[in-house]
A and B are shown apart, each in its own frame.
Chain A
Amino acid sequence: MNARTETAVIQTALQHASDHHLSNAHLDALEEETIFILREVAAAFERPTLLFSGGKDSLVMLKCAEKAFGAGRIPYPLLMIDTGHNFPEVTDFRDLRAKELGAELIVRSVEDSMARGTVRLAHEGESRNVHQSVTLLEAIDEFRFDALIGGARRDEEKARAKERIFSHRDSFGQWQPKAQRPELWTLFNTRLQPGEHFRVFPISNWTELDVWQYIARENIALPSIYYTHQREVVDRRGLLVPVTELTPPRDGETVQLRDVRFRTVGDITCTCPVESLAATADDIVIETLAAEVSERGATRMDDKTSDASMEKRKKDGYF
């Protein structure tokens, strides 16, 4: 049914990618749009912040911010909502990059919200991913942030595909998909009532492929787990679930050592790697061109519950 695996298709696609128009002019246009939006946030808001997880999309945004404002001059702090279930390679990298840039890094953790009693888990092993929303809203309240820049892309998921670049949130942090503000030309209506804020998505129009081509072009350093490495996993209904203290094998599952990389990195309890030998960004560009399954489809356990799960979470204040 899907002919993407056919060698001819891949060959042609590869030719496109190396084509000047698709690699450079196209990436230049995306970079320029992103930088324009990053500057608009700096100018239009009083207390913006840039969500920074150490993942590939936030590293691309950070690269654009460096270009927009000059090295060491990003005019907003970086914010990380920590579930406590992170891959250490990613958090270490996050801290290193923030230090290199001389940027202020604010970390707020779901575990603190649990200690305060504002986050209650249904059961011990529940994914903390959805609970990030609570901690995020608490951080917004604490710092009175009026704009949160996020690295979400419209190609990730259907609810995201519907979202404006400047996305209004009410005082409960809720997205109201039926009442989105028209977004005409580049005249961004950034007016807020007290207690409201904006989520801003400067890389909305980038695709997973664009991100990898840009990482390759700009030589952006990434946490090591984005590239091939050997890891203990169990094959659970087609997903390669990493074996960790938090995600032990279930009864009857066989632990295997496989060559894998992560296409997306998030909470350990809901992020899976894919089988891959790709060791460089260029290798990943080739794999992405040939991919048959979407980034989230291949890697996220939490999006499978319902077609509208992302939309529901966003209405609750999730990014």
Chain B
Amino acid sequence: MTTLAPHATAPQTATGPIDTRSALRLITCGSVDDGKSTLIGRLLVDSKAVLQDHLAGVQRHGQTDLALLTDGLSAEREQGITIDVAYRYFSTETRKFIIGDAPGHEQYTRNMVTAASSADAAVVLVDATKLAWADAALKLLPQTRRHSLLLKLLRVPSVVFAINKLDAVEDSAVAFEHIGAALREFAAQAGIPVTAVVPISALKGWNVVDASEQTGWCGYSGPTLLEILEDLPVTPTDSTLPFAFAVQWVEKFSSSADTSQGRRIFWGRVATGGVQAGQSVRIMPNGQTAVVAQVLNHVRQPQAVLAGHSAGIVLDREVDVSRGDWLLADDEGEALSGSREIRATVAWLDDETLVPGRVYWALHGHRWVKAKIKRIVHRLDIHTLAEEDANQLEPNAIGHIELALQEPLATLPFAQSRALGSLVLVDTASHRTAGALLVQ
């Protein structure tokens, strides 16, 4: 049993650099019928990750329908579309993968955002047969643009464009060239860093796991999609930023023998920076300061803890701390005084339109506060990327809004800190999660 004395002699060593070879959380996205479910089926089958009974379950009229490996809901099979994210697991010789198969329909954008919020990488599928591939100035589909923009907003570190169904166009080299150019141009305009553009046929299995039988197919001689994925980094944690920690759960004991001077343990996940004994912290929102007496890792062993990992923190004095409070590095806490007004990019996910004046619940870290929509600053036109005036945001729109908060929150721009800069809005009547907020 761990001792909880404030100055335990147990070693306080850092957890070390993040293991970049651990499981990669990957999503596939893009428009309807671009072949996302088929691609995942292909990845699973060609990497020998599918068991016999599952493979037997996807035979239709003597053919293997790879999409049926992931479309698991009866409504999905009825309609032949993907409604919600299916998570699949497989490993290759070099790494483990968790794949989220995100739906393409605009109506289910919320499920795509769900999958993207925890993804290390995304494969955006583009169906060559749906585009005017012979035209050097072709237009991309709206969902390709919307999903790519959402990936950028959510800071998904790696974006791979996979141009699919190139086996089904007349001149696959021209199609690959033109579509690739359109994707690169859109990405440059939107500020999306592109990891790779790769030609594939999910149906035939070309360039997915195994290289195409024809060398230099589409004028491409680079790695297969899986080879690209095997080399991608996982999302770096913000351990170089100042310390920030949201209190998830306060552990109190009735027995005084367990805690020195009746202290409590504050459990939560280190959002940014790191924490070790002796560090000064400021408690938000009350602004009090204290010194960290001891840090426990997620399994209650004394150890310094870095961003991305759970920690239990014991403070050197009795202070008022409850679930939802933040512990911040002292000097940072001073700068981050907390604001009652925030401006944020919003991905609107609810079926009901967002209108100014309505009050929602906002969840930031582990704190719930009421938030009122003051103003819609503008809506983003996903085709032109222009910021246009708007007085409401329709379902699946992306826009910028101003909110008034019932209590100040210690936020940072999402571009600086995923944890301090992200909130969700919850409808006070339906309790549905209605919007994803990224603080500007």
User: Could you tell me which A residues sit within 8 Å of B by CB distance?
Assistant: 1-4, 9, 12-13, 16, 21-22, 25-26, 29, 31-32, 35-36, 39-40, 42-43, 67-71, 154-155, 157-159, 161-162, 164, 177-187, 189, 191-193, 204-205, 207, 291-294, 297-298, 307-308, 311-312
Are A31 and B19 in touch, CB under 8 angstroms?
no
**Chain B's nearest CB lies how many Å from the CB of A164?**
8
The answer for the CA separation of A312 and B74 in the assembled complex, in Å, is 9
Minimum CB–CB distance for A256 against chain B, Å = 23
Which of B83-91, B126-134, B136-144, B276-284 is near enough to bind chain A? Answer: B83-91
Which of A13, A26, A164, A187 contacts B424, CB < 8 Å?
A187
* Contact, CB under 8 Å: A204 / B87: yes
Complex interface: chain B residues within 8 A of A16 (CB):
91, 93
- Is the pair B431, A177 in contact by a Cβ cutoff of 8 Å? no
Determine the chain A residues whose CB is within 8 A of the CB of B418 once the complex forms: 185
Q: Chain B residues near A184 (CB, 8 Å)?
A: 113-114, 117, 422, 424, 433, 436
B275 to chain A, nearest CB (A): 16
11 A-B pairs within 8 Å (CB atoms) are namely A2-B51, A32-B310, A39-B249, A67-B299, A154-B89, A178-B83, A182-B349, A183-B117, A184-B117, A186-B269, A297-B52
In the complex, what residues of B have CB within 8 A of residue A193's CB? 431
Pair B249/A40 contact, Cβ less than 8 Å: yes
**Whole-angstrom distance between the alpha carbons of A154 and B115 in the complex?**
14
Determine if B98 is an interface residue (Cβ-Cβ < 8 Å). yes
Tell me the bound Cα distance from A157 to B83 in angstroms.
Answer: 17
**Do the beta carbons of B51 and A43 come within 8 Å of each other?**
no
Q: Max chain B CB contacts within 10 Å: which of A13, A179, A186, A187?
A: A187
Q: Which residue on A lies nearest to B113, using beta carbons?
A: A182
Q: How large is the interface on B (under 10, 10 to 19, 20 to 34, 35 or more residues)?
A: 35 or more
Q: Contacts A177-B73, A297-B51 hold; do A36 and B269 have CB atoms under 8 A apart?
A: yes
CB distance from A148 to the nearest CB of B (A): 18
With A2-B48, A154-B89 as given contacts, are A26 and B96 in contact (CB-CB < 8 Å)? yes
Residues of B within 8 A of A292 (CB): 51-52
Q: Chain A residues near B251: list those with CB within 8 A.
A: 69
For window 1-42 of B, CB contacts with A under 8 Å fall at 1-2, 19, 21-23
**In contact, B436 and A162 (Cβ under 8 angstroms):** no
Q: Which of B88, B310, B323, B422 contacts A43 (CB 8 A)?
A: B323
B22 lies within 8 A of A21 (CB): yes
Of residues 39 through 67 on chain B, the ones whose CB sits less than 8 Å from some CB of chain A are 48, 50-55, 57
The contact of A187 among B51, B72, B110, B422, by CB within 8 Å, is B422
**CA of A292 to CA of B87, assembled, Å:** 20
Name 4 extra pairs, CB < 8 A, besides A42-B249, A162-B86. Answer: A159-B73, A294-B54, A297-B53, A308-B77
Quick one: given A1-B55, A308-B74, are A191 and B323 in contact (CB under 8 Å)? no
Q: Which residues of B contact A12 (CB under 8 A)?
A: 93
- The answer to whether A207 and B89 have CB atoms under 8 Å apart is yes
The 8 closest A-B pairs by CB, nearest first: A158-B72, A297-B53, A43-B249, A308-B74, A182-B110, A191-B431, A184-B117, A67-B299
Cα–Cα, bound, A177→B89 (Å): 21
Measured between beta carbons, the chain B residues less than 8 angstroms from A67 are: 298-300
Contacts of B248 in A (CB 8 A): 36, 39-40, 43
A152 to chain B, nearest CB (A): 12
Residue B432 is within 8 A (CB to CB) of chain A in the complex: yes
Q: Judging by beta carbons under 8 Å apart, are A191 and B426 in contact?
A: yes
A31 near B298: Cβ-Cβ < 8 Å: yes
> In the assembled complex, how far is the CB of residue A275 from the closest CB belonging to chain B, in whole angstroms?
16
Task: Say if the beta carbon of B272 comes within 8 Å of chain A.
Answer: no
CB distance from B16 to the nearest CB of A (A): 10
- Any chain A CB within 8 A of the CB of B111? yes
Q: How far is the CA of A65 from the CA of B359 in the complex (A)?
A: 37
B75 within 8 A of A: yes
**Also in contact, A311 and B23, with CB within 8 A (given A184-B114, A189-B426, A191-B431):** no
